[in-house]
Amino acid sequence: MAFELVEQQGIKTSVRIKVIGVGGAGGNAVNNMIASNIVGVDLLVANTDAQDLERSKCKNRILLGPSVTRGNGCGGDPSLGERACEESIKELKDALCDADMVFIAAGMGGGTGTGACPIIAKALRELQREDEGILTVAVVTKPFPFEGSARMTRAVEGIEKLKSHVDSIIVLPNEKLLSLGTKNVRFRDLFLKADEVLFQAVKGISDLITRSGYVNLDFRDLRKVLSFPGQAIIGLAKGKGEDKVLETTKKAISSPLLENSDIRGARGLVMNFTGSSELSYDELVEAAQYLQELVKPEAETFWGLVFDDQMGDEVEVTVVATGMDGEGACAKKDVDRGDPLKKIREARPEDLQADWEVRKPGQVIYDPPLDHTPIHNQATRFHFEEKKPLKRKLTDLFKGGRDLDYPTILRLGNQPQKG
């Protein structure tokens, strides 16, 4: 299914997002996305294990390498996974060629995911859609320590291969799941939390593309940021109460399950804020400045703002940070910025209670009357002045001024406050 984003003078622009679950772990992740009723994306699964495909809830299924494996899996052999994927590459290309963006989900260390994912990612890079390659993000897991060093070695090698063919990659070490549970926690609950990272990444991206805001983000903004190679974070969080915007922003970038949840040194940043029309200028700028102090000073930065009075006192924050390898996170740790990440914590058992919530389609976005045409397609860099002591409603700031190349929310930040 494609999103109809713009219809102007008979021209329609659409963005199509697909998720492919590869191997057993990838297939389970897609099953859990189906169970959570995610909308607006196309889902498919690919596996060398015919029995596992039969159990899938996904209607779009591809058996990889039927003559190579005869539907019996790869037995943990990545080279067999590669050969199986190469046999079925035409079918995979046909299924994915009309996508603008593809998420690849898999567990690394076995045969199918480790062997097939780099082949799929390479094929996506070679495919062209409207003179551009397909934007590709991988979300993969590393094995538990008790699965042995051989499996971990295969996983690390597979991830390195995959990195060279995807735009961004999100890595979840299964070891971090163990810190979530009590002694008798169910394994299924742990895996659900890992799958939630994929769910939130896909939902966060699809929401950014499909929900029109007063400060609007579009697919090209995301493409530019996600094209920075290396590890990425795509975080989505909700919160309310005192300092809700800042605290929710911190929550969005502090997943205890990610291999690297430190966005210091990121080369690309997208931040989107959704809240009621009572959302204040000071709250938003405080949160945005917090993020900008973490990333590289020259980072490509885009932001968006959506008013939705159905949110009540709640706020939703989506953060996409990319390019955190090499000169990124490691190099920036020596920079003294007061350690703004000191509140990132280890996982706790109560994290298992976090709700999976998907907003129902068709909810009305608040559209208050303004004195001028609402701002659209003005994703831009933040430039900050010293924060003013008086809180002001953001809707009050969308008035006056003529330079619409610079967002009103920030233009008015330099004006004297009344009252």
Output the CA torsion 284→289→290→296 (10° steps): 140
Does position 153 have pLDDT exceeding 90, yes or no?
A: yes
What is the predicted pLDDT for the residue at 165?
94
Q: What are the φ/ψ torsions at residue 391 (nearest 5 degrees)? A: -75, 140
CATH topology match: 12-166 vs 221-414 = no
- The DSSP call for residue 59 is S
Closest C-alpha to 108, from 123, 124, 121: 121
pLDDT, mean of residues 266-275: 94
What is the predicted pLDDT for the residue at 181?
61
Query: What secondary structure does DSSP assign to 163-216, as a single string?
Result: HTTSSEEEEEEGGGGGGG--TT--HHHHHHHHHHHHHHHHHHHHHHHHS--SB-
Q: Cα angle at 19 between 320 and 156, to 5 degrees?
A: 70
Domain 12-166 has CATH 3.30.9.10: no
**52-110: pLDDT as tens digits:** 999 999 999 999 999 999 999 999 999 999 999 999 999 999 999 999 999 999 999 99
pLDDT, mean of residues 228-233: 88
Which CATH number applies to 221-414: 3.30.1330.20, 3.40.710.10, 3.90.226.10, 3.40.50.620? 3.30.1330.20
pLDDT band for position 363 (50/70/90)?
very low
374 or 75: whose pLDDT is higher?
Answer: 75
Q: Is this structure's pTM higher than 0.85?
A: no
What is the predicted pLDDT for the residue at 381?
41
What is the predicted pLDDT for the residue at 115?
98
d(CA 413, CA 383): 10
Give the type of residue at 186. R
The domain ranges of the chain are 12-166, 221-414
d(CA 108, CA 162): 10
**402-411: pLDDT as tens digits:** 444 445 455 5
Continuous segment of H or E residues that includes residue 28: helix 23-35
What is the predicted pLDDT for the residue at 188?
82
Q: What percent of the chain has pLDDT over 90?
A: 51
